[in-house]
Chains A and B, each alone.
Chain A
Amino acid sequence: GESVGLHLPTLSVQEGDNSIINCAYSNSASDYFIWYKQESGKGPQFIIDIRSNMDKRQGQRVTVLLNKTVKHLSLQIAATQPGDSAVYFCAENTSGTYKYIFGTGTRLKVLA
């Protein structure tokens, strides 16, 4: 099926360090992107979004960067905490398609 970012890497970071999670998306026509966090046994939780007319957006401890030239998204988490341990997914949407395409995800492990 369709997917974004076919690999499922694991990122291990020390508590308090910054984390950067990357995602390559597939469709150059995609104009809306979301990062989700999924903890074990739960549904994906919205973290932050960005539209294609922006290249950066900041939230609380999180920043999303969008590079349309190379079809790349990144999620930066500042001062990573144990509660940030989860699988993170990027998702892309193209207006009018009414569906999201998800990456396979990145597992973030926070080391104490």
Chain B
Amino acid sequence: KAGVTQTPRYLIKTRGQQVTLSCSPISGHRSVSWYQQTPGQGLQFLFEYFSETQRNKGNFPGRFSGRQFSNSRSEMNVSTLELGDSALYLCASSSQLAGATGTQYFGPGTRLLVL
């Protein structure tokens, strides 16, 4: 079974631009979560989707948004990029049933550099 895939793997943007990152979960997984990883803050939860519904959101500004499609693929968008948005963005999927906790499996991440 193929793992979680993320595209693109690397991205360079300039301040003020916006970016869209994509994540394809493991086949059969309906829960997709996004995390931001930086050396200073570690792994920080962004949001989680299940069956196209956002069930939880972390403490990030509204510039960070996401969505999930009917095939469970997910995208996250960051608008008006700031230098501090430079990070590794990680996607994780799980076969989490509604209300239950599932094991999260991570993709390789998208490395975003904002200049």
User: Per-residue CB proximity of B79-115 to A under 8 Å, as 1/0?
Assistant: 0000000000010000010011101111111000000
Task: Give A105 to B45 CA distance when docked, in angstroms.
Answer: 15
Residue of A nearest to B55 (CB): A98
A94 to chain B: closest CB distance in Å? 8
A28 to chain B: closest CB distance in Å? 16
Verify A95–B100 contact, CB threshold 8 A. Answer: yes
Verify B104–A43 contact, CB threshold 8 A. Answer: no
Verify A98–B50 contact, CB threshold 8 A. Answer: yes
Task: Give A43 to B109 CA distance when docked, in angstroms.
Answer: 6
Please name all residues of chain B whose beta carbon is closer than 8 Å to the beta carbon of A49 when the two chains form the complex: 103
Contact of A45 among B33, B41, B106 (CB under 8 A): B106
Q: Which of A12-20, A29-37, A71-79 interfaces with chain B?
A: A29-37
- Among B15-69, those with CB < 8 Å from A are 31, 33, 35, 41-45, 48, 50, 55-56, 58-59
Contact of B56 among A1, A43, A44, A98 (CB under 8 A): A98
Summed over the interface, the residue pairs from A and B with CB atoms below 8 Å come to a total of: 69
Verify B105–A1 contact, CB threshold 8 A. Answer: no
A101 contacts B by Cβ under 8 Å: yes
B109 to chain A: closest CB distance in Å? 5
Verify B109–A34 contact, CB threshold 8 A. Answer: no
Please name all residues of chain A whose beta carbon is closer than 8 Å to the beta carbon of B43 when the two chains form the complex: 44, 89, 91, 102
Verify B42–A34 contact, CB threshold 8 A. Answer: no
Contact of A1 among B59, B101, B104, B106 (CB under 8 A): B59
Please name all residues of chain A whose beta carbon is closer than 8 Å to the beta carbon of B96 when the two chains form the complex: 98
Residue of B nearest to A4 (CB): B42
A35 to chain B: closest CB distance in Å? 11
Verify B106–A3 contact, CB threshold 8 A. Answer: no
Report the 3 A-B pairs with minimum CB-CB distance, sorted nearest first. A43-B106, A102-B43, A104-B42
What are 19 A-B contacts with C-beta separation under 8 Å? Answer: A1-B45, A31-B101, A32-B101, A34-B103, A43-B108, A45-B106, A46-B103, A91-B104, A95-B101, A98-B50, A98-B55, A99-B33, A99-B56, A100-B45, A101-B45, A102-B35, A102-B43, A102-B45, A103-B42
